[in-house]
Structure 1
Amino acid sequence: MNLFDNQQNEFATRHIGPDEHETKEMLDTIGLQSIDELIKKTIPGSIRLKKGLALPAAVSEFEYLNELKKTAAKNKVFKNYIGQGYYDTITPSVILRTVFENPGWYTQYTPYQAEISQGRLESLLNFQTMVSDLTGLPIANASLLDEATAAAEAMTMLFNHKNRNHDHITAPKFFVDEKIFAQTKDVLITRATPIGVELVFGDFATASLDELYFGAILQYPNSDGAVIDYRSFIESAHSVNAQVILATDLLALTLLTPPGELGADVAVGSSQRFGVPIGFGGPHAAFFATKDEFKRNIPGRIIGVSIDAEGNRCLRMALQTREQHIRREKATSNICTAQALLANMSAMYAIYHGSQGLKNIATRTHLLAQKIATALTELGFEQTNEFYFDTLKIKVADVAIVKTKAEKQEINFNYFADNTIGITLDETTTIKDVHQIAKVFAAVADKKYAVDKKISEEINLPAFAVRTSAYLLHPVFNTHHSESQMMRYIKSLENKDLSLNTSMISLGSCTMKLNAATELIPVSWPEFSKLHPFAPKEQTKGYLQIISELENYLSTITGFAATSLQPNSGAQGEYAGLLVIKAYLESKGQHHRNVVLIPISAHGTNPASAVMVGFKVVVTKCDDAGNIDVEDLKAKAEEHKDDLAALMVTYPSTHGVFEESIREIIDTVHQYGGQVYMDGANMNAQVGLTSPGNIGADVCHLNLHKTFAIPHGGGGPGVGPICVAEHLVPFLPGHTNIKTDVTNIHAVSAAPYGSASILLISYAYIKLLGATGVRKATEYAILNANYMKARLEEFYKILYSGKNGTAAHEFIVDLRPFKTSAGIEAEDVAKRLMDYGFHAPTLSFPVAGTLMVEPTESEDKAELDRFCDAMIGIYHEIKAIEEASADKKDNVLKNAPHTQYVITSDDWQHSYSRTQAAYPLPYSKANKFWPSVSRVNNTHGDRNLICTCEPISSYVEQKAAVATV
């Protein structure tokens, strides 16, 4: 053994669970001699790669971090006053350490299993309450991807609302004030065009809306920083039945009259400046708040209050959360994710500071802006914003002169084409910074600046803009202001949640793998976290180098020509990929091609994304083995040959099988002039062994939060880049801040490179594993799945497998027979797994009444065995019901999960023992995870939708009731 080679490849042994001895045991269980034999039986030879990936060799973790430091040093961290939706902020250390850098928070899955997600659900409910309070609107969701896409979702919601409640609008118009952020305009254009909405840009003050307008959007404060009274415009819009969206700023709203009190129907924006680093543009949690009449139509996730089986208050996600999986092509949005981790950080920031603390931060920022305005006016410059919060707009003779002098002082301003300059302050700005800015302008004016340390404490806002309403009155925002209190509150929530630092999370199609600490550490480095997405390229050379290298790595892995990292979720990647196909077809004069073939087994976001692009969905059948029905697909492709645009296909299939007919399917679509979009949800079974480009697809999206190790963060962040073949490269998403010579489509996300700060994680994943390691990870993902399948198929029917009897990286356990034999449903098994200390696999998708299991390569044999033992234990519990030795109604499955309170209660009247309920297997005695609530009543929550923290009065009533008792 060469010790020096071993040092270079050590990360693979850290990332991949089984060692050589365990690998041999697992192969023996499957009945095979080698991993290579398993791969040959699993992946059709016709699509196997003939040679290894052209990626660099692996580097050690120590070497990687040292090299990355050198790359980071190429970035120049200037003091940024650019604004435009991105601000420097101070992340309180207690939040940085115990949330942002804590695997107990960043390795959680989306809270679909509410009983083991009460902590993050409470935090997201706090986020919704914070947004609702600050915007003055009663309903808020649990975050969206970014401000620009939140604005686009709001526009779409209003458009659908108008069509639903009125006659279909024949020529719908949407007014966009010229003073909204440029990136928001860009995304609005992207989203409006396919659904036939005409955007009308102009000055709200002179705009005249009529009945053809269904809505309008304005920025508050606007992109110049001006605070303007929009009341009369909103009233006039309402007079013609048009609704109004205000894109706004949460920190500003601690001082300014909230959108709800101005009459706005929707408020959107970014919560980034509430303690979330800029990170070159993301990820940041967007917010979305609206009136009660829209509560059933809000895009994304909503956290609601319900009760559990014991009648106790609990939290869960509301019904519309997975609308696209229920309604598919009839869905009004393809959003199935959020920015949960970042929303949690923002909520914790508000909790830590409280209403007064936030107001103090806002007031300091505003007063410092006033100080600069006074200083620059005295130097002879004109400040054009009559009223403002944190942003000034200064007229100068030549912006180039100011830019040169500012950059010498390591300062970035926002430079406009009309020789004006934007200066946006934030909570990091100090009086020292104020004097430095003034000195730059003094040098431009060739004048002396007399340092005056006195600052007026009188806020200069007009009466219409001064907020008089209270906010954040709930006890949670008024209790945890010391670090001890905050640390304990965060820990109390963490303890309620199961995450990857508790046990494996074997969710099929969700790929919950190791999120290595070395991959995540650089995300907090200031050379990356403090870069503004609109900073000059000369200051971001290190970041651009990493982005370019990552794009090339992903293109190599997928077998394609180019990659766009802009889409910041998997669904966003689907949408972007279809937009690229649409633009390509239209460039060839084939505007009429609008039919997309989608197998019935596809993810629900597939048809929803297709409809958003303006395509018509035609569903194709699957056969009894779960494969695409080739004859049905051929028939429908021929039927629609004149207007066929694309096929959307997941590979390996949603059923966890490498379908042998994939090349035939792709050739058929190409034969009739269509393009092939490959959903990258199952890419963890392809990397290094095959690829979408090698198989013959034209475009794919990747879930970097699945295959490439970005943490799920309790339901986001995610990244969904798209990789495309040569002929589609000119149509990749562009951005208003990046000028190119190609005919790009408009932006799909707010920032040029989407969630740039977490691209570092996937970059590290590939660098640390290298060409050999990424292939080995895929091989072990397939090995682990087939080992578990081999252990479980003696007890459960396993649905679908390849022609040689193997699965890909996931497999489906059929629980439907037990409904008849024992009255046990898949949900009962999912809840009982919690008692064994595990998160359930994917429930009832893609087949109702099943569990889809994906172990990933990161789990060792001992953990795989613990899960298999749990499933086998549950099998025997079901058999006891079938054999009548356990009661059909009062049994451990129907009553699962069992909380600590239920187990220790004096009132125990069940037909089974406490030990059987709480400690079903010996390992659970040593490391018991307790669900914090009993089974959640979803129906109650949907009938009684409450999506903000209950008012103080309800808490007073509870205390009074307890006192009475």
Structure 2
Amino acid sequence: MLMSALPTLASLENSTEFHARHIGPDAADEAGMLSVIGAASRRALIDAIVPGSIKRAAGMNLPAALTEAQALAELKTVAAQNQVLKSYIGQGYYDTLTPGVILRNILENPAWYTAYTPYQAEISQGRMEALVNFQTMVTDLTGMAIANASMLDEATAAAEAMTLAARVGKSKSQVFYVADDVLPQTLEVIRTRANPLGFEVRVCNGDEALNNDSFAVLLQYPGVNGEVRDYAEWIAKYKARSNGVVIMAADLLALTLIKAPAELGADIAIGTTQRFGMPLCNGGPHAAYMACKDEYKRNLPGRLVGVSVDVHGNPAYRLALQTREQHIRREKATSNICTAQVLPAVVASMYAVYHGPQGLKRIALRVASFTALLAQGLKALGYGIVNTSAFDTLQVQTEGKTAAIHAKAIAAGLNLRHASATTVGISLDETTTREHLQALLTVFADGQALPAFDAAEKGIATLIPAAVQRTSAYLTHPVFNRYHSETEMLRYLRALADKDLALDRSMIPLGSCTMKLNATSEMIPITWPEFAGVHPFAPRDQLKGYALLNEQLTAWLCQATGYAGISLQPNAGSQGEYAGLLAIKAWHESRGEGHRKICLIPESAHGTNPASAQMVGMSVVVTKCDKEGNIDLGDLKAKCEQHSANLAAIMITYPSTYGVFDTQVKEICALVKSHGGRVYVDGANMNALVGVAAPGEFGGDVSHLNLHKTFCIPHGGGGPGVGPVCVVADLVPYLPAHRSAGYESETAIGAVSAAPLGNAAVLPISWMYVRMMGADGLTAATETAILSANYVAARLADAYDIHFSGNIAGVKGGGVAHECILDIRPLKDATGVGAEDVAKRLIDYGFHAPTLSFPVAGTLMVEPTESESKHELDRFCDAMLAIRAEIAQVAAGTWTATDNPLVNAPHTAESLLKADWAHAYSREVAAYPVASLRRQKYWVPVGRVDNVWGDRNLSCSCPPMSDYE
């Protein structure tokens, strides 16, 4: 009897399967959820909801799932194939020292990396304060009036600056000049962006731009080869001649020693903050920046965090002006950027906070002094230095020795930049030591005795010209001058994190955003030196681990999507959209049909869709949806016939943004193709498809994926993300190239991000997720996500109107995909309590709000994901039912429409402690609407934020400390 009760070896092995950790509900939970829904089994529910016509013919051919320990061990062998040499390549990427307090308490802290984009201001005050610090850091160092809250990388920031200049400039020219010492990857991304917009990009050495018309010019400061030019006179001449806009790509660390771009006359400054604490990461993720003159602020792309006030008159942060502008302005949006690089931006801002102005200046002076010392040593060895000035980079004349020097450097564990056939580039950074200088000089010495370093003991003048040395102050705000001990910094970071609601505290039920588990075992590899310490432009034979990671992950994602080829280069979902549409455009042009520029987009689409379409030069035509949320096939037929000769593509989201599996999707795809168009399937809702259906099989030609949604890269407060572009076989030749990094292709579109693999260092997260889940685990995750959404719909169906349900017989709630829309409009009409009031009241219950008023105004869209347990789903449903009961009390007249717990939500501790409590409901109702909150309560730091006041009194930098007194 005893022996028969022992578990089998197989069951013990299965008990370590990762998918049981990732998927929240267990078998007993699932049975209880199915009974509430009214479905006999999970399989029966999926069969009822997912159209049979689109289901996969065969399962995904993926490796068998590994345990967490096994997957980490296997990935370690992949990482070991990378060679981590000491990098002196520069070209926009530098080694840096991430302070341990920032590494542990931000980059590796789920309180920061699992947070969502701060669309709900009240529960995002900590990360928005960090972003205001970021903006202040950028405006101080660049001298500009206003800065946004992070761009994707320096190259795309330059491309965005080009289009900004075209919008705000006064010149009618279509010529955009780029200085000949701009980073080569930046030039390639600019050319990719300029081509469909009709801009002519010209590379110049300076004089040409002074003698010809152009709408803008891009200058690199310092240049890629190290020269630090005083551009003041040149800029004055350029503006007098062309009336154009001046953009400067400026190194922030250098700006602690050299004049700010605004002081030289620049109108826009862009660049990267990578060397402020973020490792090389094979090119990303790193936060770029953009700053500009005050008069450009309402055209500034990307996110902008502003200072406002809450209902109590206290300072509060919120997203300003551009908040989800794509959803409002659609194809007229200033940019398609949605996911940014928030987590790296927070790291960069805290690097500046921790070091302060004096600390940053010391780091910069050390780099500049070592550069001067290296130049002195190289000259002593008989080498000429091309540049006459420098901050951190030298271009060394090597003539016939170039190849030999590179070979010796690599043998010594050093990577130098291939500047030209007769020169070598060397870029130093904050990690450079005297021993490193000796190693460099040894490579060049060729047997000669090394020069002495005596001058270093006595001090050495930098190679920065006196005329361009900075004298203006920067980072004067107290936040940059207080937290310099680790104790103070630690407490500051903890205080900010405590203000926010992230996935480590509670469920984040946002629709279309898939806030699922970001497992610790998935996150561990991102800081391994074999992944984090690699330069993106290192010789390719040093990047074999990344090549294998790319090969395996793309193969697995092809299995999940049904497509033939994938590029991981796009570093956000919006960039994947953009790359996919460029591929379609290139395919049409290859067939002599470049006139096909009409893009059909349903009215339910994500706002980035029309924004991306206009960026590639397409014209958007909106198609209708019916009352069930499906694409109106009659209207689509009419639009296809009307635009048949010029139809380029249709962009659909599947399941739709309304949370509906359109049963006619195959007919839609076939119809568009019969008129010569291609089908773009937005992958935002791929969490409802993996293992169940594949867009490449049911009619899609192109999709992008959001690895920061479906494949577990965390949102990081709004980024980083990865947006792979996936295509069918005949579009594979048009996937993005990266010619500046040696990845040539005659047919490929140009680079869409600064680095060949985009945000490469976060790809191991998705690799680990797929490797640990396997085909069965991924399929179970999809089915559980659909189950959970239907459970929420079933539990709430009697209290709320479920908008766009499938009306499936016997399924309570009607049947939805992986998300459901709660229609608050009837309640608003009856009581005055609207969707925003429900969203803010949920904060008092300890929850982030669902997606507010998108895709339908006055509604809440809920996506529970597969990772939430039944306990957490019940806690959320209980909160929503309690809120519905509160709305009923307003309807009954117990509380007035103007004074009730919903319209006054969220309630701060400070407001509850005031002596003059004048509301008709008790403090207890405000603070503890359900009993469980007495044991564990999230206290919101500010009351409801006044968005209108913030836009009318726009301020986007650190407020004075007197505001908090």
Alignment TM-score > 0.5, same fold: yes
Match of 1:307 among 306, 309, 327: 309
Aligned counterpart for 1:7 among listed residues 7, 13, 28: 13
Distance 1:149 1:324 in 2: 18
Give the CA deviation at 1:742. 4.3
After superposition, residues 469-488 of structure 1 pair within 5 angstroms as: 469-488=472-491
Partner of residue 811, structure 2 = none
- Look up the match of 1:572: 575
Q: Contact 1:109–1:499 (CA<8 Å) still a contact in 2?
A: yes
Q: Give unpaired runs (5+ residues) of structure 1.
A: none
Mapped to 1, the partners of 2:320 and 2:134 lie a distance apart of: 15
For 2:616, the aligned partner's letter is V
1:552 is aligned to 555
Name the amino acid aligned to 2:756.
P
> Which residue of 2 is the match for residue 221 of structure 1?
222
The letter of the residue matching 1:222 is: G
> Equivalent residue for 1:243?
245
Residues 669/896 of structure 1: CA separation in 2 closer, same or farther (3 Å cut) = same
| Residue 674 of structure 2 corresponds to residue 667 of structure 1 | no
- The secondary structure found in structure 1 opposite 2:645 is coil
Q: Write the deviation string for residues 142-176 of structure 1: whole angstroms up to 9, x where unpaired.
A: 000000000000000110113xx67xx3x511111
- 1:858-873, aligned counterparts within 5 Å? 858-873=867-882
Q: CA deviation at 1:453?
A: 5.0
SS of residue paired to 2:499: coil
AA of the residue aligned to 1:678 = V
TM-score norm. by structure 1 comes to 0.97
1:137 maps to a residue whose letter is M
Question: How far apart, in 2, do the equivalents of 1:776 and 1:337 lie?
Answer: 27
| Cα distance in 2 for residues equivalent to 1:517 and 1:215 | 46
Structure 2 contact 584–731 (Cα < 8 Å) conserved: yes
Correspondence for 1:849: 858
Equivalent residue number for residue 77 of structure 1: 84
Three-state SS of the structure 1 residue aligned to 2:765 is helix
Query: 1:774 aligns to what?
Result: 778
> What's 1:590 paired with?
593
- Residue 655 of structure 2 is matched in structure 1 by 652
**CA 1:576–1:5: 2 relative to 1, 3 Å:** farther
Q: Which residue number in structure 2 is paired with residue 448 of structure 1?
A: 449
Write the deviation string for residues 842-898 of structure 1: whole angstroms up to 9, x where unpaired.
000000000000000000000000000000000000000001112221100010000
Offset of 1:741 from its aligned partner? 4.3
Q: How much has 1:418 moved relative to structure 2?
A: 2.8
- The equivalent position to 1:387 in structure 2, one of 386, 389, 409, is 389
- SS at structure 1 position matched to 2:196: coil
Query: How has the CA–CA distance of structure 1 residues 620 and 652 changed in structure 2, closer, same or farther, with 3 Å as cutoff?
Result: same
> Is structure 2 residue 957 aligned with structure 1 residue 948?
yes
- Residue 332 of structure 1: how far off its partner (Å): 2.2
Task: Provide the residue aligned with 1:890 in structure 2.
Answer: 899
Q: Output the CA distance in 1 between the equivalents of 2:91 and 2:765.
A: 26
1:65 aligned partner, one-letter code: L
In 2, the alpha carbon distance for the partners of 1:553 and 1:65 equals 17
Whether the aligned pair in 1 keeps the contact of 2:93 and 2:535 (CA below 8 Å) is yes
Q: How far apart are residue 449 of structure 1 and its match?
A: 1.5
Q: By how many angstroms is 1:739 displaced?
A: 2.7
Alpha carbons 2:279, 2:533 under 8 Å: kept: yes
* Distance of 2:130 and 2:393 partners within structure 1: 31
Q: C-alpha offsets along residues 288-320 of structure 1, whole Å, 9 cap, x if unaligned?
A: 010001011100010101000001111100022
CA RMSD of aligned residues (A): 1.2
Moved more, 140-149 or 452-461: 452-461
SS for the counterpart of 1:38 is: helix
The alignment status of 1:734 with 2:734, answered yes or no, reads: no
* 1:542 Cα offset (Å): 1.2
Alignment partner, residue 281 of structure 2: 279
| One-letter identity of the residue aligned with 2:73 | N
Are 1:435 and 1:451, in contact at CA under 8 Å, matched by a contact in 2?
no
Contact 2:395 / 2:419 at 8 angstroms: preserved in 1?
no
Offset from partner CA, 1:703-740 (integer Å, 9 cap, x none): 00000000000011011111100000000000020333
Q: Is the 8 A contact 2:342 2:718 kept in 1?
A: yes
| Alignment check: 8 A CA contact 1:595 1:643 kept | yes
AA matched with 2:940: P
Show the counterpart of 1:263: 265
Consecutive aligned runs of 4 or more in structure 1 exceeding 3 Å deviation: 1-9
Which residue is equivalent to 1:55? 62
Aligned to 1:415, what secondary structure does the other structure show?
coil
Partners of 1:159 and 1:4 in 2: how far apart?
65
Moved more, 505-514 or 413-422: 413-422
Q: Which residue does the alignment assign to 1:751?
A: 755
Contact 2:380 2:451 in 1 (8 A): no
Match status 1:617 vs 2:624: no
Name the residue aligned to 2:3: none
Change (3 A) 1:547 1:5: farther
Superposed, which structure 2 residues align to 1:91-130 within 5 Å?
Answer: 91-130=98-137
Instruction: Give the 3-state SS of the residue equivalent to 2:566 in structure 1.
Output: strand
Equivalent-residue separation in structure 2 for 1:336 and 1:45 (angstroms): 33
Q: Out of 485, 498, 501, which is 2:501 matched to?
A: 498
Quick one: which amino acid aligns to residue 568 of structure 2? L
The residue identity in structure 1 corresponding to 2:638 is: A
SS of 2:298 mapped into structure 1:
coil
Structure 2 partner of 1:795: 799
Distance 2:193 2:8 in 1: 55
Distance 1:352 1:118 in 2: 20
Helix, strand or coil: the match of 1:354?
helix
SS in 2 for 1:936: coil
Structure 2 counterpart of 1:599 = 602
Aligned-pair CA distance for 1:836: 0.4
Deviations 1:470-508 (A, max 9, x none): 100000000000000000000000000000011000100
Superimposed CA distance per residue, residues 910-953 of structure 1 (whole angstroms, 9 cap, x where no aligned partner): 11001100100111111100110000000000000000113xxx
Count of residue correspondences: 948
- Measured in 2, the distance between the counterparts of 1:856 and 1:885 equals 36
Residue number in structure 2 paired with 1:234: 235
SS across alignment from 1:325: helix
Which of 330, 344, 350 lines up with 2:332 in the alignment? Answer: 330
Residue equivalent to 1:822 = 831
Q: Distance in 2 between matches of 1:807 and 1:906?
A: 47
Are 1:932 and 2:941 an aligned pair? yes
In structure 2, distance between residues paired with 1:238 and 1:537? 42
Amino acid corresponding to residue 749 of structure 2 in structure 1:
I
> Residues 958 and 180 (structure 1 numbering): CA distance in 2 closer, same or farther, change over 3 Å?
closer
| Amino acid aligned to 2:928 | Y
Stretches of structure 2 that go unaligned for 5 or more consecutive residues are 1-6, 809-813
Q: CA deviation at 1:120?
A: 0.4
Q: Is the 8 A contact 1:175 1:199 kept in 2?
A: yes
Change (3 A) 1:207 1:885: closer
Q: What is residue 688 of structure 1 aligned with on the other side?
A: 691
Residue correspondence of structure 1 range 82-481 to structure 2 within 5 A? 82-162=89-169, 169=172, 171-210=173-212, 212-239=213-240, 240-396=242-398, 397-443=400-446, 446-455=447-456, 456-481=459-484
Q: Distance in 2 between matches of 1:958 and 1:99?
A: 27
Superposed CA deviations along residues 189-213 of structure 1, whole A, max 9, x for unmatched, are: 0111111111111111453344x41
Q: Does 1:839 align with 2:848?
A: yes
| 8 Å contact kept, 1:659–1:802 | no
Q: Distance in 2 between matches of 1:338 and 1:917?
A: 35
Aligned residues of 2:598 and 2:643 also touching (Cα < 8 A): yes
Task: Mark the CA change 1:675 to 1:424 in structure 2 (over 3 Å): closer, same or farther.
Answer: same
Report the equivalent of 2:634: 631
Letter in 1 for 2:155: A
CA distance, structure 2, for counterparts of residue 148 and residue 467 of structure 1: 26
Q: 1:321 aligns to what SS in structure 2? A: coil
Q: In structure 2, which of residues 554, 565, 589 is the aligned counterpart of residue 562 of structure 1? A: 565
1:178 deviates by 1.3
Assess if the C-alpha contact under 8 Å between 2:737 and 2:745 holds in 1: no
Summarize the Cα distance change of 1:355–1:4 in structure 2 as closer, same or farther, 3 Å threshold. farther
Q: 2:27 aligns with which of 20, 31, 40?
A: 20
CA offsets, 1:386-431, max 9 Å, x none?
Answer: 0100000001023210011111100000012332100000001000
Which stretch of structure 1 is more off in the superposition, 222-231 or 200-209?
200-209
- Structure 1 partner of 2:711: 708
| 1:10 counterpart SS class | coil
